[in-house]
Amino acid sequence: MKEINAADFQQEVLNGGKVVVDFYSTECPPCEALAPKFDAMAELYGEKIKFLKIFRQGNRELATELGVSSSPTLLFFENGKQILDTISGGIKKSEIVERLDKMLSTNEVTAIKANQKKTVSEYDVAILGGGPAGLTAGIYLGQAKIKTVLIDPALPGGYMGITHQVSNYPGFEKPQPGFMLAHFMSEQAKHTGIDFKVAVDITSVDLLKKEIVIDELETIKAKKIIIATGTTPNTMNAPGESDFKGKGISYCATCDAKYFVDKEVTVIGGGNSAVEEAQFITKFASKVTMIHQFDKLTANQTAIDELQKNEKISVMYEHEPRKFEKHGDKMITFVEDLKTNELKELESDGVFVFIGFKSNVAVLGKNLPEMNNWGYILTDEDMKTSIPEVFAIGDIISKKYRQITTAVADGTIAAITISKEI
Ligand SMILES: Cc1cc2nc3c(=O)[nH]c(=O)nc-3n(C[C@H](O)[C@H](O)[C@H](O)COP(=O)(O)OP(=O)(O)OC[C@H]3O[C@@H](n4cnc5c(N)ncnc54)[C@H](O)[C@@H]3O)c2cc1C
């Protein structure tokens, strides 16, 4: 692994055979998450492919020239030409391996794979999930000097990272951007000394044996496991929905609303998320039409009162989406009027879906703890599940209110219970 500057680019990259370049920045959590993976890849593939790092802030002109606009970004070169697609952000090991393998012959790849060593590491506690629940458990366990690892297929923060503004988390006079809250919590957890394994692929989880395999090769054995894997937004399974996911249909206003400046948007749903996100979308869009199956919104009254003051938003009550089509740049949502069964066509520039969530239990292997009828894990007051030494916290458990404060409370309870037991 070598660090270079713009001045070395011609010699090291363009004249350099097969090369992968990491444009990194400081104070960049995804860059920190990538660094150990990039080092491990360099050790494995280093004889065939050159691994280089460039500090993006110090080499801005070159970065701009190469179209690098975020950190970290990996670029791949062969004989002076850029090849393959670039990858950036929370880069997984499997995404790098996939591209490196394409740069080599089958025999070379087979030889490299034969050299890969499996590792086993042992911890007192493994936390699955780095949202507010998992991070809080990590903070308490780290401060109690309990050997802990926090594992997440994404970057830490969970839903906080994609929430525009959080106004109800105590301790902040003014609303906080969700990503900042995620950053503060994750840095606080890191400073306690716990290990972070983030942006990894979760290969398997065995809750009975307390073994988690990540990136296919690394086995993590723990005395106790805390499940904090949260939820995933529900989809409608209406025809066209999966075809236009990310191409006209979005599930994240924080991520995508900015692309709808002065455009018209359709929002599906009428609960808290839908109402709050519709409000947020009007910062950009000129008009938002909400489609809601009931005759009243089901959000809290304060959110409804705010929504009713917003002239950009109108609600089609007692309507349900049945099908999505794209005509040119326009999304067409076919909605059924539930009173008359009439099918109407609603044209907009984009559709946002906020219709509830399902728990992320599918990734937890074959032996699952007891759950309620909706797939949320049942726990006792110490956050213990029906499987010995397995705890569950946050949105994934059966409970009435799913908020950052309640997730944080669950994480606290599980961690203090564990600290007393270990
Ligand atoms: C759009 C939106 C806005 C919200 N606004 C607010 C608000 O303003 N105030 C408030 O209090 N609450 C708000 N909430 C609710 C709040 O964000 C959640 O209640 C809270 O984040 C739950 O925390 P959690 O740690 O249980 O789960 P999450 O935040 O969902 O985090 C779960 C983590 O687990 C990871 N994970 C998933 N699968 C696996 C796996 N197999 N192995 C390991 N890790 C895995 C995920 O990548 C994620 O990082 C909002 C929610 C949404 C969706």
Cα angle 3, 4, 8; round to 5: 160
Distance between Cα 101 and ligand 1 center (Å) = 34
Q: What is the DSSP string of 197-264?
A: EES--EEEEETTTTEEEETTTEEEEEEEEEE---EEE-----TTTTTTBTTTEES-HHHHGGGGTT-E
The protein residue whose alpha carbon is closest to atom 37 in ligand 1 is 229
Mutate to test the pocket of ligand 1, among 197, 229, 379, 398 (most ligand atoms within 8 A of CB): 229
pLDDT of residue 246: 72
Mean pLDDT of the region 89-117: 91
Distance between Cα 251 and ligand 1 center (Å) = 14
Distance between Cα 168 and ligand 1 center (Å) = 15
pLDDT digits (tens, 9 = 90+) for 23-38: 998 877 788 888 888 9
- What is the pTM for the complete model shown? 0.82
Which fold is adopted by the domain 119-232+357-421? FAD/NAD(P)-binding domain (3.50.50)
Superfamily of domain 2-114: Glutaredoxin (3.40.30.10)
Residue appearing with tokens 């106004």 = 167
Distance between Cα 259 and ligand 1 center (Å) = 24
pLDDT of residue 96: 94
Closest C-alpha among 398, 422, 183 to residue 410: 398
Q: Is the pLDDT reported for residue 52 higher than 80?
A: yes
Read off the tokens for 239. Answer: 């025809």
pLDDT digits (tens, 9 = 90+) for 317-366: 999 999 999 999 999 999 999 999 999 999 999 999 999 889 999 889 89
Taking the alpha carbons of 343, 344, 350, 351 in that order, is the dihedral positive or negative?
Answer: negative
Ligand 1, closest atom to CA 402?
Answer: 19
Ligand 1, closest atom to CA 161?
Answer: 29
Mutate to test the pocket of ligand 1, among 92, 135, 163, 231 (most ligand atoms within 8 A of CB): 163
Distance between Cα 131 and ligand 1 center (Å) = 5
pLDDT of residue 166: 85
Mean pLDDT of the region 127-134: 98
Q: What is the DSSP letter of 338?
A: T
pLDDT of residue 275: 95
- Domain 249-353, CATH 2.60.40.10 — does that match? no
pLDDT of residue 175: 85
The protein residue whose alpha carbon is closest to atom 20 in ligand 1 is 404
pLDDT of residue 33: 81
pLDDT of residue 134: 98
Say if strands 231-233 and 357-359 run parallel, antiparallel, or are unpaired: antiparallel
Mean pLDDT of the region 125-149: 98
Question: What angle separates helix 301-309 from helix 272-281, to the nearest 10 degrees?
Answer: 30
The protein residue whose alpha carbon is closest to atom 3 in ligand 1 is 163
Q: Is the pLDDT reported for residue 39 higher than 80?
A: yes
pLDDT digits (tens, 9 = 90+) for 145-176: 999 999 998 889 999 987 777 888 999 998 88
Residue ranges of the chain that CATH labels 3.50.50.60: 119-232+357-421, 249-353
Distance between Cα 186 and ligand 1 center (Å) = 13
The protein residue whose alpha carbon is closest to atom 49 in ligand 1 is 158
Q: End-to-end distance of the chain based on CA atoms, in angstroms?
A: 40
Query: In sequence order, what are the residues at sequence separation of 6 or more whose Cβ sits closer than 8 angstroms to the Cβ of residue 366?
Result: none
Distance between Cα 176 and ligand 1 center (Å) = 16
For the chain, the average pLDDT equals 93
Mutate to test the pocket of ligand 1, among 155, 159, 395, 403 (most ligand atoms within 8 A of CB): 159
pLDDT of residue 200: 87
pLDDT of residue 257: 86
Distance between Cα 49 and ligand 1 center (Å) = 38
pLDDT digits (tens, 9 = 90+) for 232-282: 988 888 999 988 887 788 888 877 788 799 999 999 999 988 999 999 999
Ligand 1, closest atom to CA 411?
Answer: 25
Distance between Cα 13 and ligand 1 center (Å) = 41
User: How many CA atoms within 13 Å lie on the side-chain side of 195?
Assistant: 15
Distance between Cα 254 and ligand 1 center (Å) = 14
* Pocket around ligand 1 at a 6 A CB cut-off: 128-134, 151-154, 158-160, 163, 166, 168, 202, 228-231, 273, 360, 363, 394-395, 402-405, 407
Residues 406 and 359: their CA atoms lie apart, in Å, by 16
Residue ranges of the chain that CATH labels 3.40.30.10: 2-114
pLDDT of residue 320: 96
pLDDT of residue 90: 82
* pLDDT bucket at 57, cuts 50 / 70 / 90: confident
